[in-house]
Amino acid sequence: MSNNLGSMPLRYRVTIDREQCMECERCIENCSYGVFRRDGDRILINSRKCTACHRCLAYCPRDAIMLEEQPCDYRSHPVWTRATREAIYNQARTGKIILAGMGSVADLPIIFDRLMLDACQVTTPPTDPLREPVELRTYLGKKPSKLDLRRNSKGDVELATELTPNLMVETPIMLGHMSYGAISLNAQISMARAAKETGTYMGTGEGGLHAGLYPYQDRMIVQVASGRFGVNIDYLERGAAIEIKLGQGAKPGIGGHLTGEKVSKDVSRTRMIPQGSDAISPAPHHDIYGIEDLSQLVRSIKEATEWKKPVFAKIAAVNNTAENVAAVARSSVDAVVIDGFRGGTGAAPRVFRDHVGIPIEVAVASADRELRKQGLRNEVSLIACGSIRESADVVKAIALGADAVYIGTAALAAMGCRVCGNCYQGLCPWGIATQRPDLVERLDPDVASKQVANLIHAWTLEITELMGAAGINSIESLRGNRDRLRGYMLDEGLLDVLDVKPVGA
Amino acid sequence: MMVKLVTIDAKGMHYTPLNQQVRRAVEDGADEVVVQNVLGQRFIGDGLKGDATIHVYGVPGGDLAMFMSGPTVIVHGNAEHAPGNTMDAGKVVIHGSAGDAVAHSMRGGKVFIRGNIGYRGGIHMKQYEAQRPILVVGGSAQTFLGEYMAGGLLIVLDLDGAMKARGIGSGIHGGEIIIRGDVDDACLAAGAKKVPLTDEDRRRIAPVIREFAGDFGLDPEPLVNADYTRIVPASARPFAGKYTWE
**Domains with residue ranges and CATH for chain A:** 12-96 (3.30.70.20), 154-502 (3.20.20.70)
Lowest average pLDDT, out of A71-75, A125-129, B35-39, B166-170, goes to A125-129
Residue B212 lies in a domain: yes
Residue B196 lies in a domain: yes
Query: In sequence order, what E strands does A89-156 have?
Result: 97-100, 115-117, 138-140, 149-151
Q: How far is B140 from B151, CA to CA, in rounded Å?
A: 21
HSE-CB for A436 with a 13 A CA cutoff? 16
Pair A90, A57: CB distance under 8 Å? no
Residue B221 lies in a domain: yes
> Number of structural domains, chain B?
1
- Whose CA is closest to A64, among A21, A106, A114, A94? A21
Provide the pLDDT for residue A130: 85
How deeply is B234 buried, as exposed, middle or buried, from its count of CB atoms within 10 A (0-12, 13-18, 19+)? Answer: middle
Arithmetic mean of pLDDT over chain B: 95
Q: How far is A53 from B181, CA to CA, in rounded Å?
A: 58
> Do the strands A97-100 and B243-245 form a parallel or antiparallel pair, or are they unpaired?
parallel
- Cα–Cα separations (whole angstroms), residue A99 to A103, A201, A435, B209, B244: 11, 30, 20, 45, 6
pTM, to two decimals: 0.96
Q: How far is B178 from A73, CA to CA, in rounded Å?
A: 59
The model's confidence at residue B1, banded by pLDDT at 50, 70 and 90, is: low
Query: In sequence order, what E strands does A20-104 have?
Result: 36-39, 42-45, 65-69, 97-100
Q: How far is A374 from A377, CA to CA, in rounded Å?
A: 8
Q: How far is B99 from B169, CA to CA, in rounded Å?
A: 18
Pair A346, A394: CB distance under 8 Å? no
DSSP per position, B94-147:
ESS---SSTTTT--SSEEEESS---TTTTTT---BTTB--EEEESS---SSTTT
Contacting residues of B for A8, CB less than 8 Å apart? none
Q: Which residues contact A185 (CB under 8 A, 6 or more apart)?
A: A210, A212, A213, A266, A440
Tell me if B171 and A280 make a contact (CB, 8 A cut-off).
yes
For B168-172, the CB contacts below 8 A with 24+ separation are B168/B144, B168/B192, B168/B231, B169/B145, B169/B231, B169/B233, B170/B144, B171/A280, B171/A282, B171/B147, B171/B238, B172/B146, B172/B147, B172/B148, B172/B231, B172/B232, B172/B233, B172/B238
How many CB atoms neighbour CB A415 within 10 A?
25
Q: Radius of gyration of chain A from Cα atoms?
A: 24
Q: What does each of the 505 residues of chain A score in pLDDT, given as a tens digit?
A: 589 999 999 999 999 999 999 999 999 999 999 999 999 999 999 999 999 999 999 999 999 999 999 999 999 999 999 999 999 999 999 999 999 989 899 999 999 999 999 999 998 889 888 888 999 999 999 999 999 999 999 999 999 999 999 999 999 999 999 999 999 999 999 999 999 999 999 999 998 999 999 999 999 999 999 999 999 999 999 999 999 999 999 999 998 878 788 888 999 999 998 888 888 888 899 998 888 899 999 999 999 999 999 999 999 999 999 999 999 999 999 999 999 999 999 889 999 999 999 999 999 999 999 999 999 999 999 999 999 999 999 999 999 999 999 999 999 999 999 999 999 899 999 999 999 999 999 999 999 999 999 999 999 999 999 999 999 999 999 999 999 999 999 999 999 999 999 999 9
Q: Tell me the residue range of the domain where B187 lies.
A: 5-233
Selected for mutation to probe chain A from B48, B105, B117 (highest A CB count within 10 Å) is B105
Residue B88 lies in a domain: yes
Contacting residues of B for A101, CB less than 8 Å apart? 246
How many CB atoms neighbour CB A16 within 10 A?
20
Q: How far is A393 from A113, CA to CA, in rounded Å?
A: 8
| For residue B236, pLDDT beyond 80 | no
Q: How far is A242 from A144, CA to CA, in rounded Å?
A: 21
Contacting residues of B for A232, CB less than 8 Å apart? 67, 69, 86, 88, 107
Contacting residues of A for B244, CB less than 8 Å apart? 90-91, 93-94, 96-99
Q: For B205-234, what is the mean pLDDT?
A: 97
Tell me if A286 and B148 make a contact (CB, 8 A cut-off).
yes
In chain A, the residue whose alpha carbon lies closest to the alpha carbon of B149 is A280
Q: How far is A43 from A34, CA to CA, in rounded Å?
A: 12
Contacting residues of A for B120, CB less than 8 Å apart? 286
Pair B243, A97: CB distance under 8 Å? yes
Q: How far is A340 from A393, CA to CA, in rounded Å?
A: 13
Q: Residue A155: left if φ>0, alpha if ψ -120 to 50, beta else—which one? A: left
Residue B38 lies in a domain: yes
Q: How far is A228 from A256, CA to CA, in rounded Å?
A: 12
Tell me if A90 and B16 make a contact (CB, 8 A cut-off).
no
Contacting residues of A for B240, CB less than 8 Å apart? 259, 278
> Residues of chain A whose C-beta is under 8 A from some C-beta in B?
87, 90-91, 93-94, 96-101, 227-228, 231-234, 236, 257, 259-260, 268, 272-274, 277-278, 280, 282, 286-287, 296, 299-300, 303-307, 349-350, 421, 424
DSSP element (H, E) containing A496: helix A492-498
Residue B243 lies in a domain: no
**A312: three-class secondary structure by DSSP:** strand
Tell me if B47 and A304 make a contact (CB, 8 A cut-off).
yes
> Do the strands A485-487 and A115-117 form a parallel or antiparallel pair, or are they unpaired?
antiparallel
Bridge partners (DSSP) of residue B59 are B39
Tell which B residues from 137 to 156 touch A, by Cβ distance under 8 Å: 147-148, 150-151
Contacting residues of A for B41, CB less than 8 Å apart? none
Sign of the torsion formed by the C-alpha atoms of A16, A21, A23 and A25? negative
Q: What is the pLDDT of residues A322-351, one digit of tens each?
A: 999 999 999 999 999 999 999 999 889 999
CATH (domain of B204)? 2.160.20.60
Q: Which residues contact A405 (CB under 8 A, 6 or more apart)?
A: A172, A173, A174, A383, A384, A385, A388, A393, A394, A397, A398
Provide the pLDDT for residue A258: 80
Pairs of residues, one from chain A and one from chain B, whose beta carbons lie less than 8 Å apart: 131
CA dihedral A338, A340, A346, A347 (to 10 degrees): 120
- Whose CA is closest to A254, among A287, A274, A280, A279? A280
Sign of the torsion formed by the C-alpha atoms of A127, A475, A175 and A351? negative
Bridge partners (DSSP) of residue A243 are A223, A312
- Whose CA is closest to B135, among B126, B144, B143, A403? B126
Tell which B residues from 187 to 216 touch A, by Cβ distance under 8 Å: none
Q: How far is A478 from A137, CA to CA, in rounded Å?
A: 12
DSSP element (H, E) containing B58: strand B53-59
3-state helix, strand, coil in chain B (%, to 5): 15, 30, 55
Burial code (b: 16+ CB inside 10 Å, e: under 16) for A17-39 equals eeeebeeeebbbebbbbebbeee
CA dihedral B92, B96, B99, B100 (to 10 degrees): 60
Share of chain B above pLDDT 70, in %: 100
Contacting residues of A for B63, CB less than 8 Å apart? 287, 296, 300
- Cα–Cα separations (whole angstroms), residue A77 to A71, A83, A85, A233: 17, 11, 10, 56
Provide the pLDDT for residue A1: 56
In chain A, the residue whose alpha carbon lies closest to the alpha carbon of B63 is A300
Q: Provide the terminal-to-terminal Cα distance of chain B, rounded to the nearest Å.
A: 67
Residue B242 lies in a domain: no
Provide the pLDDT for residue A182: 92
Tell me if B128 and A268 make a contact (CB, 8 A cut-off).
yes
Q: How far is A462 from A476, CA to CA, in rounded Å?
A: 17
Tell me if B101 and A424 make a contact (CB, 8 A cut-off).
no
Q: How far is A130 from A259, CA to CA, in rounded Å?
A: 51
DSSP element (H, E) containing A87: helix A82-94
The model's confidence at residue B27, banded by pLDDT at 50, 70 and 90, is: very high
Residue B246 lies in a domain: no
- What ipTM did this prediction achieve? 0.96
Provide the pLDDT for residue A279: 85
